[in-house]
């Protein structure tokens, strides 16, 4: 006997549409049920066991969606403007931001070397967050030392990348007459070979630790480690290159990303009504447009302020922390423009002073407001795929360090490419040639070069 419980009402008649009834295989008191005689022939296809393969496949399909339920909502209930706890989260976020800002300003004051150290620490924390994302405790217990292999690849990549970026600074940091100069010279000469064999050692280590029934997990961890090195570590390493080209080229792009993030949050907080992208349900068009305008204007004004301090504009050619003085160059030399009469009569000044670098800052601001947010969208999609809210919980109200650096990595690469392509002159001044000579030749080779240059100059003087 099959008992049917009509979902609409107890007095409903049996309908040909079987969706109006729920089928049960347990007894229900007769006073609370409605018995229906089934004269229809029910085939196995109409009533399948809960454990049948087709039902299992249907349940699997229902569970396999990669989107969170909040991503699928279209009624705007997840926007910040409709969030009931938005003021509490705003104060937590603001409190954390103030402490981060104070710490960041202190590190900027300490100088280039400390900024680079801060970047290295952030990279290690980001790698730790991402390494833990795909780890499984049960499998790791069966693979002793496997976590150490991930860090072996990470520090090998760090040795190679920073050895290439900071080669000039390393050579200038040691005294030519001492043992460390010869050691640094040898390291720079054979750095690629050293890093290659370190990587090959890790590769052989990985092959020798493969275990039966663990192949899929081990190879997924191997691929995941390399993705972290390529997408995360390599991009963020351009930040160090920007720092030693002048703190200005690190501080301005990083500040623009922070300004864009804060402006998007507050514009969306108070005015956000139109969802921007499903990957990030709380992002709105109002926040995106408001943040874009704010970022571009801030870029033009902020470049004028930062560009007047030699501590920020001078490149650092060594690893010292001493005070810097240099020729600021034409892009940091103020230019005066007279205002039109129709404009100056409404303003207290007749002319304005503009640094040429401010026009470059407009390009950086445009990129920070339009292109860089896609780094955040990428991270949001990544978190949706793994069904996590944040990469970590190190920063209250913000998530982990990876959550804060998603757009910064994209911006750092663009700032470096833009600086190398459009800012640095395409000729080789004497200072750069001397740096290359000091960095690539030994002390004896430098003496030999000097004597030959002296002979050439003397010969030319005799001819004239």
Q: Answer for the pair 265, 443: CB distance below 8 angstroms, yes or no.
A: no
Residue 31 pLDDT > 60: no
For residue 231, name the pLDDT band (cuts at 50, 70, 90): confident
What average pLDDT does the segment 267-279 reach? Answer: 88
Q: Which two tokens stand for residue 307?
A: 């560009």
Whether the CA torsion 266, 270, 275, 280 is positive or negative: it is positive
- How far apart, in whole angstroms, are the C-alpha atoms of residue 268 and residue 164? 42
* CA distance readout (Å), 456 to 19, 135, 437, 438, 452: 98, 64, 18, 20, 6
pLDDT, position 382: 86
Contact indicator for 368, 302 with CB cutoff of 8 Å:
no
pLDDT for res 289: 96
Report pLDDT for 82: 55
Q: What is the pTM of this model?
A: 0.74
Pairwise CA distance, residues 322 & 173, whole Å: 12
| E-only strand ranges, 285-378 | 335-338, 351-354
The pLDDT of residue 428: 67
The answer to whether residue 17 scores a pLDDT higher than 70 is no
What mean pLDDT comes out for the span 232-254?
92
Q: Which pLDDT does position 114 carry in this prediction? A: 95
Q: Is the pLDDT of residue 408 over 80?
A: yes
pLDDT value at position 34? 41
| SS3 category, 280 | strand
pLDDT beyond 50 at 370:
yes
Three-state secondary-structure class, residue 188? helix
With 60 as the cut, is the pLDDT of residue 26 above it?
no
What integer is the mean pLDDT of 423-447?
76
152 sits in which H/E element: helix 146-165
pLDDT band (50, 70, 90) for residue 283: confident
Range 385-404 average pLDDT = 84
Calculated CA dihedral for residues 405, 410, 412, 418, nearest 10 degrees = -170
Residue 51: its pLDDT value, please?
44
Q: For the chain, what percent of residues have pLDDT higher than 70?
A: 79
User: Residue 18 above 60 pLDDT?
Assistant: no
337/352 Cα distance (integer angstroms) = 5
Q: pLDDT-derived band of residue 419, with 50, 70 and 90 as boundaries?
A: very high
Phi, psi of 187 (to 5 degrees): -65, -45
Query: Which residues in 264-334 belong to E strands, given as ranges?
Result: 275-277, 280-284
pLDDT at 395: 83
Burial class (CB in 10 A: 0-12, 13-18, 19+), 387: exposed
Residue 337: Cβ within 10 Å count: 8
Measured in degrees and rounded to the nearest 5, phi and psi for residue 33 equal -130, 170
Q: What angle do CA 313, 415, 405 make, to 5 degrees?
A: 105
pLDDT digits (tens, 9 = 90+) for 296-345: 999 999 999 999 999 999 999 888 888 888 887 889 999 998 888 877 78
More confident: 452 or 68? 452
The pLDDT assigned to 89 comes to 76
CB 279 within 8 A of CB 90: no
């Amino acid at each position: 006997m099959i008992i049917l419980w009509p979902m609409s009402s107890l007095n409903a008649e049996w309908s040909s549409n079987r969706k109006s009834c729920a089928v049960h295989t347990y007894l229900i008191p007769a006073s609370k049920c409605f018995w229906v005689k089934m004269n229809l022939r029910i085939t196995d296809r109409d009533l399948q066991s809960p454990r049948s393969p087709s039902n299992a496949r249907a349940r699997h399909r229902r569970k396999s969606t990669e989107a969170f339920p909040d991503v699928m909502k279209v009624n705007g209930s997840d926007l910040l403007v409709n969030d009931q706890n938005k003021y509490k989260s705003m104060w937590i976020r603001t409190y954390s931001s103030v402490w981060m800002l104070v710490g960041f300003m202190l590190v900027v004051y300490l100088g280039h070397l400390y900024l680079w150290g801060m970047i290295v620490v952030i990279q290690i924390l980001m790698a730790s967050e991402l390494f833990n994302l795909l780890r499984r405790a049960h499998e790791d217990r069966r693979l002793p030392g496997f976590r150490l292999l991930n860090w072996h690849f990470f520090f090998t990549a760090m040795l190679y990348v920073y050895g290439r970026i900071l080669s000039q600074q390393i050579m200038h940091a040691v005294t030519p007459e001492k043992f460390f100069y010869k050691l640094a010279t040898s390291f720079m000469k054979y750095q690629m070979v050293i890093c290659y064999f370190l990587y090959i050692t890790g590769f052989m280590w990985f092959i020798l630790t493969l275990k039966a029934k663990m192949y899929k997990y081990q190879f997924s961890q191997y691929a995941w480690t390399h993705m972290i090195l390529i997408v995360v570590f390599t991009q963020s390493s351009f930040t160090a290159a920007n720092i030693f080209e002048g703190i200005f080229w690190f501080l301005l792009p990083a500040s623009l990303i922070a300004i864009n993030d804060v402006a998007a949050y507050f514009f969306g907080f108070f005015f956000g009504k139109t969802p921007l992208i499903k990957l990030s349900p709380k992002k709105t068009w109002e926040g995106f447009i408001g943040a874009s305008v704010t970022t571009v204007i801030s870029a033009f004004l902020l470049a004028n302020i930062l560009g007047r301090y030699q501590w920020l504009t001078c490149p650092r050619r060594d690893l010292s922390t001493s005070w810097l003085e240099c020729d600021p160059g034409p892009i940091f030399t103020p230019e005066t423009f007279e205002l039109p009469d129709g404009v100056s009569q409404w303003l207290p000044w007749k002319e304005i002073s503009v640094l040429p670098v401010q026009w470059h800052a407009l390009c950086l601001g445009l990129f920070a407001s339009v292109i860089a947010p896609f780094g955040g969208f990428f991270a949001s999609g990544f978190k949706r795929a793994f069904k996590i809210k944040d990469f970590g919980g190190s920063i209250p109200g913000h998530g982990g360090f990876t959550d804060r650096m998603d757009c910064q990595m994209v911006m750092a690469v663009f700032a470096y490419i833009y600086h190398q392509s459009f800012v640095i002159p395409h000729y080789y001044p004497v200072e750069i040639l001397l740096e290359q000579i000091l960095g690539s030749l030994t002390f004896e080779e430098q003496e030999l070069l000097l004597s030959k240059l002296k002979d050439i100059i003397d010969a030319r003087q005799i001819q004239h």
